[in-house]
Amino acid sequence: MKHYLQFKDLSADDYAYLLARAALIKKKFKAYEKHHTLADRTLAMIFEKASTRTRVSFEAGMYQLGGSVVHLTTGDSQLGRAEPIEDSARVISRMTDLVMIRTFEQTKIEAFASCSRVPVINGLTNEFHPCQILADLFTLVEHRPAASGQPLDAIQGKVVAWVGDGNNMANTWLQAAELLGFTVHISTPRGYEVQASTACVSDTSCYKVFSNPLDACRGADLVTTDVWTSMGYEAENEARRAAFANWRVNTDMMAVAQPDALFMHCLPAHRGEEVTAEVIDGPQSVVWDEAENRMHVQKALMEYLLLGQQA
Ligand code: CP
Ligand code: NVA
């Protein structure tokens, strides 16, 4: 049994399969073709933080695979009344086939997985957001495919510029870069840097640090950013607004990237904070495809975790 708690829980071969499978699943979805590979299976979704995309993409995706979902939050379950996470895992995993969790510390999802009888998927923790990076890579391959037609060839050797917080998204980009062979050019304000140890990458060779965000964007194939304040860090809002003022993706940054560079944002976005409206609503932005692709890649992922590779 495999869990998907971090990006590096799957191999490069797994990703080559998943990216190709997600393309097939998306094509069938667009053609209104049935794809009921998870008929009679149940997904439990546990949300300890807010969500729009993750909720809708997992819930709609599971129904489209022929399965069903159970939705739990901290407020409407015993999770909010201090039932140990391990006990919740033992119970929920006896009644369902798959569990998706969005929570705070990575240690919490690890504790759940250690007592779960069924695969567990990380729907975002303070440290990682692997489903989002999977969707982002799929979106990159879709918009900038390799001549070989191999998804991983479209990713290898690329430069991804990260502008902003050294957060769960940034950490996951680093894991993806190390595993799939590309480089992250990262610029964060002082005090908000990524740490190789927190990102769980073996060394710093998959990323380069730039003090000026414009330099991080120079020559990049993809420019990406995220909110200045992630969920769970709201008490730091004031300090972060001051610290991040120069880490706003704008047209000057896009102008020094490759001429065909894409802009991505996992959303929700705050126009005028981490990105200007001109960039996120501009011609290089692929944020709506990126959001939609969450559903297609997660359908491939759920199917893979329960059934393995399909011919
Ligand atoms: N990008 C993302 O995970 O969005 P939600 O917080 O809306 O799920
Ligand atoms: N870094 C953000 C991502 C939201 C999808 C957060 O954790 O709140």
Question: What's the whole-number mean pLDDT along residues 262-281?
Answer: 98
Beta bridge partners of 222: 160, 262
Task: Quote the pLDDT of residue 29.
Answer: 98
Atom nearest to 50 CA in ligand 1 = 6
Instruction: Give per-residue pLDDT as tens, 63-108.
Output: 999 999 999 999 999 999 999 999 999 999 999 999 999 999 999 9
292: pLDDT confidence band, cut at 50, 70 and 90?
A: very high
307: pLDDT confidence band, cut at 50, 70 and 90?
A: very high
226: pLDDT confidence band, cut at 50, 70 and 90?
A: very high
Please name which ligand lies nearest the alpha carbon of 52. Answer: 1
Please name which ligand lies nearest the alpha carbon of 126. Answer: 2
Instruction: Give per-residue pLDDT as tens, 8-67.
Output: 999 999 999 999 999 999 999 999 999 999 999 999 999 999 999 999 999 999 999 999
The residues, ordered by sequence, that sit 6+ positions from 183 with a Cβ below 8 Å of its Cβ are 158, 159, 160, 177, 206, 207, 208
The tokens describing 77, both together, are 């379950």
DSSP 158-184: -EEEEES--SHHHHHHHHHHHHHT-EE
Is residue 129 part of the annotated active site? The answer reads yes
Please name which ligand lies nearest the alpha carbon of 229. Answer: 2
Stated pTM of the model: 0.98
**Would the CB of 20 count as within 6 Å of ligand 2?**
no
User: Which of 132, 258, 284, 298 does the annotation list as catalytic?
Assistant: 132
What does the alpha-carbon distance between residue 24 and residue 14 come to, in Å, rounded to a whole number? 15
Task: Quote the pLDDT of residue 216.
Answer: 98
Helices (H), 31-84: 53-64
Task: Quote the pLDDT of residue 310.
Answer: 96
| DSSP state, residue 264 | E
Pairing of strands 42-47, 98-102: parallel
Residue 127 CA to ligand 2 centre (angstroms): 10
Q: Containing H/E element for 122?
A: strand 120-122
Return the best residue to mutate from 56, 109, 129, 172 for the ligand 2 pocket (most ligand atoms within 8 A of CB): 129
Domains located in the chain, CATH noted: 7-128+291-306 (3.40.50.1370), 132-289 (3.40.50.1370)
Instruction: Give per-residue pLDDT as tens, 103-155.
Output: 999 999 999 999 999 999 999 999 999 999 999 999 999 999 999 999 999 99
Helices (H), the chain: 12-30, 53-64, 85-95, 106-114, 130-143, 168-180, 196-199, 213-217, 237-243, 251-256, 277-280, 287-307
**Would the CB of 230 count as within 6 Å of ligand 2?**
yes
156: pLDDT confidence band, cut at 50, 70 and 90?
A: very high
Residue 72 CA to ligand 2 centre (angstroms): 19
Closest C-alpha to ligand 1, atom 3: 54
**Would the CB of 169 count as within 6 Å of ligand 2?**
yes
